[in-house]
Structure 1
Amino acid sequence: MDALTLLVVATLALLAGLALGTLVGAAVLRRDQHTATDHVRASVQATAQVVAPVRDSLEQFAVRLRELESSGVAWHSKLQAQVESVRLTGETLRRETQGLATALRRPQVRGQWGEMHLRRAVELAGMVERCDFTLQPSVRGDDGLLRPDLLVRLAGGRQVVVDAKVPLDAFLSATQAAADDAADAHQVSADHMGRHARQVRSHIDALAQKAYWRQFAPTPELVVMFLPGEAFLSQALEADPGLLEYAATRRVVPATPTTLIALLRTVSYAWSQETLAHGAREVQLVGRELYERLATMGEHVDRLGRSLTSAVGAYNKAVASLESRVLVSARRMHDLEVGSAELVSPAPVGEAVRPLGAPELLDPQAPGRAERAARRAG
Structure 2
Amino acid sequence: MHIPEIIYSAAAGALAGIFFTWLVMRARRAVLADRLASATTEIETTRTERDALRGELSDHSARFARLESALEQEREKSKEMAAFAQAATQTLKDTFKGLSADTLAQSSEQFLHLAKSAFESFHVKASGDLAQRQKAVEEIVRPVKEALDKVNTQVAEVEKSRKQAYGSLTATVESLLRGQKELSTETGNLVSALRKPMVRGRWGEIQLRRVVEFAGMLPHCDFVEQSSVKTETGTLRPDMLVRLPGGKLVVVDSKAPLEAYLSAVSAEDEATRKKFMADHTRHLRTHIQQLSDKAYWEQFDQAPDFVVLFLPGEPFFSAALEQDEGLIEFAVARRIILASPTTLITLLQAVSYGWQQEQIAENARHIQELGADLYRRISKMADHFGTVGKSLDRAVKSYNDAVGSLEARVLPAARRFSELDTSIKNEIPKIEPVNVVSRDISAPELIEPPEEEEET
Q: CA separation in 1, counterparts of 2:288 and 2:216? A: 28
1:292, distance to aligned residue in structure 2 (A): 0.9
1:216-274 per-residue CA deviation (whole Å, 9 max, x = no partner) reads 66443543211123453454456556644554465432222232122111111111111
* Percent sequence identity over aligned pairs: 43
1:108-160 per-residue CA deviation (whole Å, 9 max, x = no partner) reads 343233233323322332333423334x3444635777654333232123332
Task: Point out the structure with the larger helix share.
Answer: 2
Instruction: For 1:171-210, list aligned pairs within 5 A.
Output: 171-174=261-264, 180=269, 185=271, 191-208=275-292
Instruction: For 1:60-209, list aligned pairs within 5 A.
Output: 60-134=150-224, 136-139=225-228, 141-142=230-231, 148-174=238-264, 180=269, 185=271, 191-208=275-292
Determine if contact 2:256/2:287 at 8 Å carries over to the other structure: no
1:306 corresponds to: 390
Pair 1:229 & 2:313 matched: yes
Q: What TM-score, normalized by structure 1, do the two folds share?
A: 0.76
Aligned residue identity for 2:447: L
| Equivalent of residue 435 in structure 2, options 344, 350, 353 | 350
1:184-237 per-residue CA deviation (whole Å, 9 max, x = no partner) reads x3xx65554442233223333444455555776644354321112345345445
1:14-46 per-residue CA deviation (whole Å, 9 max, x = no partner) reads 9539x9999769746565444433432332233
Tell me whether 41-50 or 208-217 shows the greater mean CA deviation: 208-217
| Equivalent of residue 99 in structure 2, options 16, 19, 22 | 16
Q: Which runs of 5+ in 1 are unaligned?
A: 1-11
Instruction: For 1:337-376, list aligned pairs within 5 A.
Output: 337=421, 340=424, 342-363=427-448, 366-368=449-451, 372=454, 375=456
1:162, distance to aligned residue in structure 2 (A): 1.9
2:340 corresponds to: 256
1:291, distance to aligned residue in structure 2 (A): 0.7
Q: What TM-score, normalized by structure 2, do the two folds share?
A: 0.65
Q: CA separation in 1, counterparts of 2:120 and 2:327? A: 114
* Aligned partner of residue 220 in structure 1, secondary structure: coil
1:147-177 per-residue CA deviation (whole Å, 9 max, x = no partner) reads 5433323212333232223332223445666
Pair 1:220 & 2:308 matched: no
* Structure 1 moving runs of 4+ over 6 Å: 19-26
Q: CA separation in 2, counterparts of 1:310 and 1:13? A: 182
1:276, distance to aligned residue in structure 2 (A): 0.9
Determine if contact 2:264/2:274 at 8 Å carries over to the other structure: yes
1:8 corresponds to: none
1:360, distance to aligned residue in structure 2 (A): 1.3
1:60-107 per-residue CA deviation (whole Å, 9 max, x = no partner) reads 544554454455444434433433333333333333334333333332
Q: CA separation in 1, counterparts of 2:421 and 2:280? A: 128
Determine if contact 1:213/1:222 at 8 Å carries over to the other structure: yes
Tell me whether 100-109 or 229-238 shows the greater mean CA deviation: 229-238
Tell me whether 306-315 or 117-126 shows the greater mean CA deviation: 117-126
- RMSD between aligned residues: 3.8
| Equivalent of residue 414 in structure 2, options 330, 337, 359 | 330
2:351 corresponds to: 267
Q: CA separation in 1, counterparts of 2:158 and 2:307? A: 69
Q: Give the total of aligned pairs.
A: 353
Q: CA separation in 1, counterparts of 2:169 and 2:262? A: 34
